[in-house]
Structure 1
Amino acid sequence: MHKLTITLSSCFFLFIIWIIYLANTGQQSIFFDLVRLIPYGDKVGHFGLFGMLTLLANFASKFKVFKLGKVNVFWGTAAVVVFVTLEELSQHFMPTRTLDIYDYTADMIGILLFTWLSSTLAKINLTRRCN
């Protein structure tokens, strides 16, 4: 089961890398066309893509955490936050992209919501292992 989770996470990450590549090089995609059809589709896309990546990364890392002060932080969440932050900031240097605080906000809201979902699933998983 863990190998499947790692495979799904890796494939989804590669999909996001491909979408970023298309956007960075100014290419078109059916995904971009679909996003334009949905009100606030770009923000919904940011929310969903990076939220789902967070959930998959947390599953793949078996919900492992580290302490940041008094707070437990999932390794998967931390990795996605770093990736998203660097990716969004890199847009400032791309002529085909626009650095947008609202995109970053949508990313972070997705990451936070799916981290909460990860936390809930981790507790359920722990409860099942203890019983």
Structure 2
Amino acid sequence: MYKLIVTIAVVFFAFVLWVIYLANTGGSSVFFDFIRSIPYGDKLGHMCLFGFLTLVTIIGSKFRSFSCGGFELYYGAVLVGLFVVVEELSQAFIPSRTFDFVDLAADAVGIVIAVGIAYVASKHLTNVAT
């Protein structure tokens, strides 16, 4: 099952990279048109893209975590979070893009929701296994 989740995570990450490439080069796609047709679609898109990527990355890494300052942090969430920060900040240096703090906040909301879902899922899976 984890191999399937890892495959989904890798394919979805490739999709996210493709979307970023299109946005950075001023490209167009049916996804951009669809998102523009929804009120706050851009922010919802950020939240869903990075939330789902975080969830499949956490599950694909078998819920591995580490302690930092008394908190348990999932490796998957930290990796996606670092990627998001670098990607969003890089927009300040790309002529066709603009840095938007609200995009970064929407990414963070998606990541936090995914962490919550992963936490509940891991506890449920632990209870089922015992």
Q: Same fold (TM over 0.5)?
A: yes
Aligned pairs for 1:86-105 (under 5 A) are 86-105=86-105
2:68 is the counterpart of 1:68: yes
2:125 corresponds to which residue? 125
Q: Secondary structure at the match of 1:118?
A: helix
CA distance in 1, matches of 2:129, 2:64: 15
Task: Give the drift of 1:127.
Answer: 1.0
Question: Unaligned regions of 5+ residues in structure 1, if any?
Answer: none
Aligned pairs for 1:1-131 (under 5 A) are 1-130=1-130
Aligned length: 130
**TM-score normalised to structure 2 length:** 0.98
**TM-score normalised to structure 1 length:** 0.98
CA distance in 1, matches of 2:28, 2:121: 37
Deviations 1:81-118 (A, max 9, x none): 00000000000011111100000000001100110001
Deviations 1:60-91 (A, max 9, x none): 00001100111000010000000000000000
Question: Unaligned regions of 5+ residues in structure 2, if any?
Answer: none
RMSD, aligned CA: 0.5
Identity over aligned pairs, percent: 45
| Structure 1 segments of 4+ aligned residues over 4 angstroms from their partners | none
Q: Secondary structure at the match of 1:67?
A: strand
Q: Secondary structure at the match of 1:95?
A: coil
CA distance in 1, matches of 2:29, 2:95: 18
Task: Give the drift of 1:59.
Answer: 0.5
CA distance in 1, matches of 2:18, 2:25: 11
CA distance in 2, matches of 1:112, 1:67: 17
